[in-house]
Structure 1
Amino acid sequence: MSTRTNIPGTSPYEPIIGLSRAVRIGDHVHISGTGPVGADDADIVQQTEQVLSIIAIALQKAGSSFEHVYRTRIYLTRAEDWEAVARIHGRLFSTIRPAVTTLIVSGFVNPTWLVEIDADAIIPS
């Protein structure tokens, strides 16, 4: 039986929604959709960098890292932002090359957010 570990973050939405920043089950880590908390009014580049920074912390707390990410999902409110986000994502994942899905959505819980990303990773042996 795999052990489950909930990994909290710092989002003010976690207690309201009843979510964990990440959940580790066995050797898998599932990162919740992560918005740019703390960079709410920043541009798309800064918001994306903030999101990935929050994800990096959650992966580290779970015992993993970007190197072990096998899937990401990128959610954008503006289609024209895809390339800026893709370039930042590409810098981190150019050699890892996880499976990626990019979606255009109508909005997020915080209406100033332009991007949200979730991820799945493994724990290295």
Structure 2
Amino acid sequence: MSRTLVSSGSYLEPIMGFSRAVRVGNHVSVAGTAPIAEGGGTHGVGDVAAQTRRCFEISLKALAEAGAGPEHVTRCRLMLTDISRWREAAEVHGEIFSAIRPVLTVVEVSAFVEPDWLVETEIDAIITETPE
């Protein structure tokens, strides 16, 4: 079975030895995705919703490069440094996935690699031949 690796160009990929997304057969997994701004730095400092949108923008681009779309998403994870702000991230998730309705886990973590990151996301997808 073939294995497709997708890079987003994150400065952490070569340091940590990971891919933004990996496709094996009809399964695609997207790594924990941080709100890295185009050109570097943190997108939307202090803004959970803006950071969540940026995370999903990066993740959905990686999904597309692996041959999948939002309609193939089966699982999302939202990781926040302040769980009291879960609704801000969840509302962005709802804007993107309300019709698709993948399973969702929301958890609080103590910190991310960069202190300005308030949220990271993960996505899993299964590419189906025909819409259900």
Bin of the TM-score, shorter chain as denominator length: over 0.9
1:51-66 equivalent positions in 2, closer than 5 A? 51-66=55-70
1:45 positional shift: 1.3
Give the RMSD, CA atoms, in angstroms. Answer: 1.1
- Give the match for residue 97 of structure 2: 93
Report the Cα distance in structure 1 between the residues aligned to 2:70 and 2:79, rounded to whole angstroms. Answer: 18
SS state at 1:96 partner: coil
Instruction: Letter of the 1:35 partner, please give it.
Output: A
Identity of matched residues, %: 45
What CA distance in whole angstroms lies between the structure 2 residues aligned with 1:78 and 1:31? 23
- On the 8 A contact 2:46/2:118 being kept in 1, the answer is no
What is the SS of the residue equivalent to 2:100? coil
Alignment of 1:27 onto 2:26: yes
- Give the structure-1-normalised TM-score: 0.95
Q: CA deviation at 1:11?
A: 1.1
Structure 1, unaligned runs of 5 or more: none
Equivalenced residue count is: 124
Residues of 2 paired with 1:20 and 1:7: CA distance? 6
In structure 2, C-alpha distance between the alignment counterparts of 1:73 and 1:112, rounded to whole Å = 19
TM-score normalised to the size of structure 2?
Answer: 0.90
Moved over 6 A (4+): none
Q: CA deviation at 1:3?
A: 0.8
Secondary structure of 1:45's counterpart equals helix
Q: For residues 46 and 90 of structure 1, what CA distance do their matches in structure 2 show?
A: 14
1:14-47: CA deviation from partner (whole Å, max 9, x where unpaired): 1110000000000110000000011162511111
